[in-house]
Amino acid sequence: MIRNLVLSLVAAGLLVSLPAGATAKEWFVAPKAAGHGTDQAPFGTVQAALMAAGPGDTVIVRPGTYRESIRTVRNGSASAPITLRGDNTRGAVVVTNGATVLQVDHSFVVVENIVVDAAYARRTAVRVSTGVESLALRRVEVRRSSRDCIDIGAAVNVLIEDSLIHHCLNPAGGRTDAHGLVAGAVRGLTVRGTEIHSFSGDAIQLNRTGTAYAAGWNDVLIERCRLWLAPLAEGENGFPAGTVPGENALDTKVAARSPRARITIRDTQAWGFGGGLIRVQAAFNLKENIDATVDRVTVWDSDIAFRVRGSSADQEGAWVRIQNAVLHDVDVAVRYEDDIQRLRVWNTTFGSGVVRPFADASSTRVTLDVRNVAVLGGDLPAEATGASNLAVGPQAFANAAADDYRPSALSPLVDAGVTLYEVGTDRSGISRPQGRAFDIGAHEFGR
C-alpha cells in the first residue's frame, strides 16, 4: 500500500526525489532492460527514468528504439535542470509511438540527442504546454507527424538548437496545415542552427492566441537556420511523389489586440517555396502587427522571397527592415501589400534570375525606404531609383555566375553608398565602412 502511494505521488509530480542541495544523479535507460536505473541495471523505459529524476539529475538513454510516449513529471530549477540525453552518436536513440511522443509540462528541462518519430500519427509529435519556463531542445530530430511536428503554447524562454525537423505532412482535403514548428503566446523563443523541411504548412508559424493570452508572442530569434521545400522524392503519408506540399518558411500572425511583436531573422537560408499547392507562396510571409528585422538572409528558388503586408481593418501592418540580404532565382524578391507603411530594404543584393525585384499589391500610396541596393541588370526598379542604389553588370561581383555577390576590386559598388548606422556590419560580419563610404549591396569589399 505504501509503495503504491509513493509511486502514485511520483507519477503526479508531487514527490521530488532530490532535496535541496543533494547530489545530482544519473539514471540509465536501455532497451529491454528491467532494472532500477543504475548503470549496471538500467530502466527499460524512458518514462520510468523521468519518474525517478529530480532537479539536477540526468537521464542517459542508451542507443536503441523505445516504443513509448513520454512526458515530463516535475520541474527542474534554473541552477539544476532535469536533463534527458541520448547516449552515443546522434540519431542512435529513437522514441516512437503512434501518438504525441514527447509532452513537456514542466519547467527547466533539457532534451538532447533524441529522435522523436510520431510514425505519421494524427497527433503533434512534441507538445510544449502553456506555463512551461526554460526548455532546451538540442540536437533533437522530430519527424513523421500528420500534425505539427512541434507545438508550443504560452511558454517562456524556449530554445531549439542544432536540430532537424522534417516530414510534418497532413494530406487531409488535399493539403492541410502541418507545421514544422508552431508557437502561440511564447515569450523568448530562439530557433538556432536548425533545419526544417518537408511540411504541409509552414516551417515556422507564429500564431494568434486565445483570449487568455492577449499579450501574444514576442522576442523571437531565428538564426543560422535552413528552411526549405522540394518535390517529395517519393510518396509520403498520402502525398504523391513530386508534390511540393508546404506554404512558407515563416508565417507571422498576431491577434488584433496584441502589442507589436518583435522578431529577428538572421544568417538564415530559405529555398524551394514555389510550385506548391497554394496560390501565393513566399519564403517569408511577414504580416500583421510585428516589428521584424531580417539580416543576412539568402532566398532562392522561390516564387516570392518576401511577402510583406500592411494594415487591415482591425490591426496595424508589419514593420519590416531587410538588410544584408541576397536574393536570386526568384520570381518576385519583395512583394509589398495593403499600403504598407514601414518597409526598409537596405544594403541588399538582387542577383541573377530575379524576374521582378519589387511587386506592389494594393499599395497605391506607398513610398518605400530603399537604400544601398545593388541590382544585377540594366535598370533599377521604380522603388529603388534613389542615388544610393545601382544597377550593375556581372563584372561588378566576384562571381555572379556562381551567386557570389561580393564586390570585385574595381566594382562601382565600392564606396558608393550612404551611411546607415543600423547596418554596421555586412553579411559576413565585416564592419562598415571599410573605405571612405558604405559599399552598395549585401557585402562590403574586404580590403
Residue 270 is predicted with a pLDDT of 98
Which residue, chain included where needed, has cell 525585384?
357
**Structural domain boundaries in the chain:** 18-407
**What are the pLDDT tens digits along the chain (447 aa)?**
333 433 443 333 434 444 444 689 999 999 999 999 999 999 999 999 999 999 999 999 999 999 999 999 999 999 999 999 998 788 999 999 999 999 999 999 999 999 999 999 999 999 999 999 999 999 999 999 999 999 999 999 999 999 999 999 999 999 999 999 999 999 999 999 999 999 999 999 999 765 444 578 999 999 999 999 999 999 999 999 999 999 999 999 988 777 899 999 999 999 999 998 888 999 999 999 999 999 999 999 999 999 998 877 677 889 999 999 999 999 999 999 988 889 999 999 999 999 999 999 987 777 899 999 999 999 999 999 999 999 999 999 999 999 999 999 999 999 999 999 999 999 999 999 999 999 999 999 986
Residue 447 is predicted with a pLDDT of 63
Q: What is the DSSP string of 298-329?
A: EEESEEEEEEEE--BTTB---EEEEES-EE-S
Omega of the bond prior to 433 within 30 degrees of 0, cis? yes
pTM: 0.93
The secondary structure of the chain in percent helix, strand, coil, rounded to multiples of 5, reads 5, 40, 55
Phi, psi (degrees; rounded to nearest 5) at 344: -120, 130
Contacts of 23 (CB under 8 A, 6+ apart): none
Which residue, chain included where needed, has cell 523563443?
189
Number of H helices, E strands in the chain: 2, 39
CATH number of the domain at 18-407, please?
Answer: 2.160.20
Extended strands (E) in 139-203: 141-145, 150-152, 156-161, 164-168, 181-183, 187-192, 195-199
Give the CA count within 13 Å in the CB-facing half-sphere of 257. Answer: 7
Residue 146 is predicted with a pLDDT of 97
Residue 365 is predicted with a pLDDT of 73
The span from the CA of 163 to the CA of 91, in Å, is 11
